[in-house]
Amino acid sequence: METSNKTCHSNLLCRIEELKILKLEQEQKIKYQYSDLKDSLSFGTLIKESISHITESKQTQRDLLQIATTTGTNYLIEKVLGSNSSIKRYLGSLLAEKVSSSFIGKLIAKI
């Protein structure tokens, strides 16, 4: 009976050690996964991944190009023709914007 108790006790001690080792391994794995998750949720990574997903489509690329060129054209027209303080300047900038938008739209459609 005494031998049986010693065996049970030693088996329990062995099992406790195994569980402690398992616990340490799992804690390390959780730390690694947490670090990986934290890195993947960083602002820069999110921006990079979002941009790469957005620009995969050719139509999206064309739309972004259209927006950029229209914005740039409007900015240049505003700088060249000045502020819209008079009716002539306002109408001139509107006309220039429509003509340039038409021209740029045709150019982008070819791309």
Mean pLDDT of 44-71: 76
- Based on C-alpha coordinates, what's the Rg of the chain? 34
Of the given ranges (32-46, 56-70, 91-105), which has the lowest mean pLDDT? 91-105
Of the given ranges (9-13, 16-20, 62-66, 80-84), which has the lowest mean pLDDT? 80-84
